[in-house]
């Protein structure tokens, strides 16, 4: 899979989150992330967002007009990344990507890419998990 904007760099301590880890979400991992890092702001990335269950999955976009909204945190330690890798589990792979901040600036940040097939999953057209009604 080719995803425009991915590149390799060293020592990135930023994380783009788009689902249950977003600012204000009421779970232990989201609270720990918010308390242990610095919130840089809202951002977006080209992609498609699917409802997997009570959480979403991000995959590469099918067209250049598909965006996923999320939050960026800075100062994520190796220990926190390892804990989040365990939290996300084998369905997700941490990948480095270029995200676009609200002011139009672009930065490198890690994100969790959803790996399984999305056949039969609901596409979240807005690309924003927090604005998607829960069932």
- Band of residue 64 on the pLDDT scale cut at 50, 70, 90: confident
pLDDT tens digit string along 86-98? 999 999 999 999 9
Task: Report pTM.
Answer: 0.89
Residue 122 vs residues 14, 16, 68, 69, 85: alpha-carbon distances, Å: 28, 22, 14, 17, 24
How is the chain split into domains, by residue range? 14-127
Quick one: average pLDDT of 5-23? 81
CA distance 52 to 54: 7
Fold of the 14-127 domain:
Hypothetical upf0131 protein ytfp (3.10.490)
């Amino acid at each position: 899979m080719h995803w425009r904007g991915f590149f390799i760099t060293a020592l990135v301590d930023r994380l783009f989150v788009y689902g249950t880890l977003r600012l204000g979400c009421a779970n232990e991992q989201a609270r720990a992330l918010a308390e242990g890092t610095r919130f840089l702001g809202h951002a977006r990335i080209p992609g498609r967002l699917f409802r997997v269950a009570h959480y979403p999955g991000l995959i590469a976009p099918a067209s250049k007009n598909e965006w996923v909204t999320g939050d960026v945190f800075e100062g994520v330690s190796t220990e926190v990344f390892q804990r989040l890798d365990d939290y996300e589990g084998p369905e997700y792979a941490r990948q480095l990507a270029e995200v676009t901040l609200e002011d139009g600036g672009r930065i490198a940040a890690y994100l969790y890419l959803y790996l399984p097939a999305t056949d039969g999953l609901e596409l979240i057209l807005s690309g924003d998990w927090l604005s998607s009604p829960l069932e």
